[in-house]
Amino acid sequence: MTEPSPPEDDLLPTNPVPQPDPTTPAPSRTLGLTDLTIEGRRAPALFVVGWLGVLIGTGLLAIGLMGGTGHAADVLSLAASAALSLGLVLLCGSQTIERRTAGATYAGPSPVLVFLAIIATSRLAGYVVGVPLLAVAESVPRPLGDLLAVIVQAVVFLGVVRLTVVGPGVLSWSGMGLERLGGNVLRSLLGGAVFAGPVILVTSVIAFVAVQAVGVVPPSPLPPTGTPTGLILHLLAGAVIAPFYEEVLFRGFALNAWRQTFGARGAIVRSSILFVLAHMPFVGGVVRIPIALALGWLYVRTGSLWGPMLAHVLINSVNLRTIAHHDARLDQGDGRMQPPKLVSRRRE
């Protein structure tokens, strides 16, 4: 006699593989900027117009560079900057929408893309503000022109971050570390004051070795003026205003954004690389490697921008004061009036 066959239910596996619910939509793939399709995009117009702006701007810039100097080249450069600014900002918006729709860990624009938008917009702002001042440039003291250029740069940096990051709700100002005065802010400020000294020492040694290796001293972004008033204006520009907007971009935004995807260490490294690239040429970039790493570590450690900002202020203050002292010893500063350096093509 044969044994009775088991019931049909006993033939099923003990732990059946769960089947997907047909009513649950599958997670969508993030459409990147290099996916040249509008199918499935939530904001196809932003994507198309953004890429058109970038392509047109790049083409106009190339034509202007090949065309040499003159008013025609200036007009082409201005049009290229405008097209690139618009295109890159629109692509930031497109990327944010696509990542948010796909449920990405970080649902915002790439820090590199925002940085490129800032470069293009800074160039555009330089023309818009600088060209009207050319008529009176000879009567404007060089340090005052430098201060004006840094103020315009600050407006561009913070404006682009506000438009592409804060406005869409990707990160808030307080979420980037611009918190109100409190215990954590005081601890962060103390950390910035303590770390500034060792960082200055390390960067001084690296700068000395780098200069000896390449035989070239990198030019200062704010050349010495030889006057106390010029030094004060340069300290205000380079040691107060510049550290503020740079920390907002490189630590508050870039490091914060990359941290959500790559973790703290990966974010510190990536934001430091971006910071160094923004301060090239070679010697200037190499010297800023320990600065970037230290400021990034301090920001992650405290969660506040005020400490890195204070350290940045102290580091720049010492650097500018050292340059001014070196200039005074060589008697290079004559305090002559110079046009503001807003339009690089016209800058002396």
Expressed as residue numbers, the domain containing 307 is 156-332
pLDDT at 282: 66
Whether 166 is covered by a domain: the verdict is: yes
Q: How far, in Å, CA of 199 to CA of 153, rounded?
A: 26
Q: How far, in Å, CA of 333 to CA of 123, rounded?
A: 28
pLDDT at 138: 75
pLDDT at 35: 84
Name the nearest CA neighbour of 340 among 79, 154, 129: 129
Whether 263 is covered by a domain: the verdict is: yes
3-state secondary structure of 275: helix
pLDDT in tens, the chain (348 residues): 444 555 444 443 444 444 544 544 444 577 888 888 888 899 899 999 999 999 999 999 888 888 767 778 888 889 999 999 999 999 999 999 999 999 999 999 999 999 999 999 999 999 888 878 877 777 778 888 889 999 999 999 999 999 999 999 999 999 999 988 888 899 999 999 999 999 999 988 888 887 787 776 666 677 677 788 888 898 999 999 999 999 999 999 999 999 999 999 999 999 999 999 998 776 677 888 999 999 999 999 999 999 999 999 999 888 777 665 555 444 444 444 333 344 433 333
For the chain, how many structural domains are there in total? 1
DSSP 8-state class, residue 343: S
Angle at 281 between CA 250 and CA 300, to 5 degrees: 20
Q: How far, in Å, CA of 343 to CA of 348, rounded?
A: 10
Q: How far, in Å, CA of 258 to CA of 270, rounded?
A: 8
pLDDT at 85: 97
pLDDT at 338: 39
Return the beta strands (E) in 124-213 as ranges. none
pTM higher than 0.85: no
pLDDT at 340: 39
Give the residue carrying structure tokens 């974010």: 267
